[in-house]
Chains A and B, each alone.
Chain A
Amino acid sequence: MSKRIYITGIGIISSIGNNVPEVLSSLKDCKSGIGEITLFPTLHKGLLPMAEVKLSHNQLTALAEKERAEHYTRTTLLGMVAAKEALRSAGIDHVNDRRTGLLSATTVGGMDRSEVFYQEFVQNPDKGRLRDIVNHDCGDSTERIATELGVRHLVSTISTACSSSANTIMFGADLIRFGKADRMIVGGTDSVTRFTLNGFNTLMILDKRGCHPFDEHRAGLTLGEAAAYLVLESEDIVEKEGKQPLAELTGYGNANDAYHQTASSLDGTGAFLAMSKALKMSNLKSSDIDYINVHGTGTENNDLSEGVALERIFDPVPLFSSTKSYTGHTLGAAGAVEAVIAILSIQNRMIFPNLLWSTPMKELKIKPVTEILTDQNIRHVLSNSFGFGGNNSTVILSKLT
């Protein structure tokens, strides 16, 4: 890269913790956040598990330091909590002392409220509270988070399904590298909704037991909710301010599988291309990668396609795991959630395992890390995020040198 990009702050809220220390503690304790559905009424309660943030709407509003809970969507509140933690972690008090932008990803936006609105609206088009629908679109949560942080310089939202927040990391870094911003807050937020649950259920890819990625008997993914943000800053600022960054973003790649709207190609073309581009940009050899946080949703199709692509690129395939067995699949937030976990791996010299794994996949020679590994010198982590529509992205996070 022409200009180095550092990560100087991280923030996260997910089913395994409401902040970075809580998430780290659950990761170390191998404690999954997957459990029963409690947040909304649904036929699927008790039949399908989910990874919820363990806070009611009112509790979440309080954690986000807001009042009048009814004016906020869950997606917005989750985002506010994680984005504020990221800024604090980067030691930024005045967001506008430099050209600071916010790029946020989401796949559901304000759907947790719009689906409530719509129940009344379909009965009678004059019914339904407008405050439940005005936050529907994806830009709404981003603008509310930006306003909360005081960000004005540059604000936008990306939605490329399950790779959304990985793409915010990429575009955020590009904006800094090409002089359009000095620092970028990047990441994503998605709450669980009845809409998403039923949508994924129509595709019959939700595992009744909870996901167990890269297992021969895997039966689908488990939906989760989360928000996670990273603060990206240029080399110049880090040097000027004498900051101690958490990690360096050394490479990234975006490619499209161009195969099927909801299925990945059998030879993992998109995954192969995204990883290859990221490796090329970072000037790293495949053998330099010490750990891969795989996309690993637990669907039959993803894990096979991703596994084939891994075996095509790496020989041998480095240590890898899917932390979705902890957090569930947090969709638009997943790329940023897993980037935060990658940084925690580097910092704590640990590899967090696949939980609930038992049997190797018969098509592959590889198997994931299934017990926590400590004292690992992790120099470079490759993190994959693949989405519906073949939107595949890879980022590489590196230990400071």
Chain B
Amino acid sequence: MTAFINGIGLISPQHTADPGVFLPDIVEYTTDFLQAIDPKYKEFINPIAARRMSRLIKMGITSAKMALSDAGCQMPDAIITGTGLGSVEDTEKILSGMNAGEQLMNPTPFIQSTYNTISSQIAITLKCHNYNSTYVHRSFSFESALQDALIQFEEHIAEYALVGGIDEMTSNHLQITRRAGHWKMQPVNNLQLLTDKTPGALAGEGAAYFLLGDRHASSTYATLNDVKTLYNLNKATDQEGAINTFLADNDLTTDQLDAVILGYNGDVLFDEIYDRLGSGIFQQKQQLWYKHLCGEYYTSTGFALWLAANVLKHQLIPAAIKLNNHPSRQLQHILIYNQYRNTNHSLFLLSR
């Protein structure tokens, strides 16, 4: 089942909140992690309600509203969110409160720490009683949310689905996961992320919501043809086979791809997976990347989907995302391939 991407709201470390422009400038950072640029939340959320909301919830509601307004949709038939970690900030507040002695704790962080809070708060804000769900599986979170939406279309339960991927980074969480070896040990320049070839990625965060429709609209960016998740591919050849099968399932071959977006994150231990494909089946393809713009996080493919949709809509590839130079005459089909620590692999196919 093909869905039409009819509206997008993206809050990211780049200037992406305005749907009228496509990466007008690239924000350069030298930093421990790429922090999303906060929009003016009070333009989207009642300030009284916003006061009690943690940042992740505000990011979620705001990007969801941006997507709805971009598509001119008032009421989606489904609200589905993917989040790897939910509200880390609220979870940490409860853990701290517990350590201070299990008394007189504030209920608000507990209420907001529940993973489904973002989908629920969007439903409450819109008074939307329709299908509502939340996926919380590492780098499958956003992918599963999209797969669920595609089934809601197939089942004719939905004509419009609001689907998002959202995660935040906090300084504590950065510190812990850095100790576990996930990130660079020193601040890095995001635009030079691939040059030093050391272990560890550059962390990031973001909130991306998409208003998918079962039909074309004047606001349509592109079509989302298919999404696939692959768990625990081990052998080097598995990726190639899986990509070919995915394309064949969609009546395509690599020859027909006009660009591929790869999930390079600067971690030399895992980037070699993309290197191998880049010098293999994608050698003659226009290769693009995105995590120097948004960083690595469980739902970073939300940023990639935004990027692919805009490339197809504008028929334009910004220089800052090119890994090589193999221009296509026109941009018809784009494949996204991402993997998280060689465990969660995902594929997306979009068409003009």
A, B: real partners: yes
Chain A contact residues, CB within 8 Å of chain B: 42-44, 106-107, 109, 114-115, 118-119, 121-122, 125-126, 128, 130, 133-134, 137-140, 142-143, 146-147, 151-161, 167, 171, 174-175, 178, 180, 194-195, 198-203, 254-262, 269-270, 273, 387-391
| A261/B124 in contact, CB under 8 A | yes
* B window 208-232: CB within 8 A of A: 229, 231-232
**Shortest distance between the CB of B349 and any CB in chain A (Å):** 15
6 closest residue pairs by CB, A with B:
A389-B120, A199-B110, A159-B115, A139-B138, A202-B107, A157-B137
| B110/A258 in contact, CB under 8 A | no
**Shortest distance between the CB of B69 and any CB in chain A (Å):** 19
Given contacts A174-B151, A198-B98, A258-B128, contact A138 B176 (CB under 8 A): no
Q: How many residues of B contact A (CB 8 A)?
A: 62
| A254/B115 in contact, CB under 8 A | no
A269 partner, pick from B121, B129, B140, B155, beta carbons under 8 A: B129
**Shortest distance between the CB of A387 and any CB in chain B (Å):** 7
Q: Which residue of B lies closest to A111 (CB)?
A: B91
A–B pairs, 5, beta carbons within 8 Å = A125-B172, A128-B176, A137-B136, A139-B137, A154-B229
A389 partner, pick from B99, B103, B116, beta carbons under 8 A: B116
| B132/A155 in contact, CB under 8 A | no
| B120/A390 in contact, CB under 8 A | yes
Chain A residues positioned under 8 Å from B103 (CB to CB): 43
The digit string for B112-156, where 1 denotes a CB below 8 A from any CB of A, is 111111011101101111111111111011001001100100110
Chain B contact residues, CB within 8 Å of chain A: 79, 84-86, 92, 94-99, 101-103, 105-107, 110-117, 119-121, 123-124, 126-138, 140-141, 144, 147-148, 151, 154-155, 172, 175-176, 179-180, 229, 231-232, 298, 343-344
| B129/A391 in contact, CB under 8 A | no
**Shortest distance between the CB of B298 and any CB in chain A (Å):** 8
Given contacts A160-B116, A389-B120, contact A256 B111 (CB under 8 A): no
Measured in the bound complex, the distance between the Cα atoms of B117 and A256 in whole Å is 12
Chain B residues positioned under 8 Å from A261 (CB to CB): 111-112, 117, 120-121, 124
Measured in the bound complex, the distance between the Cα atoms of B175 and A122 in whole Å is 12
**Shortest distance between the CB of B77 and any CB in chain A (Å):** 11
| A158/B133 in contact, CB under 8 A | yes
Measured in the bound complex, the distance between the Cα atoms of B120 and A270 in whole Å is 12
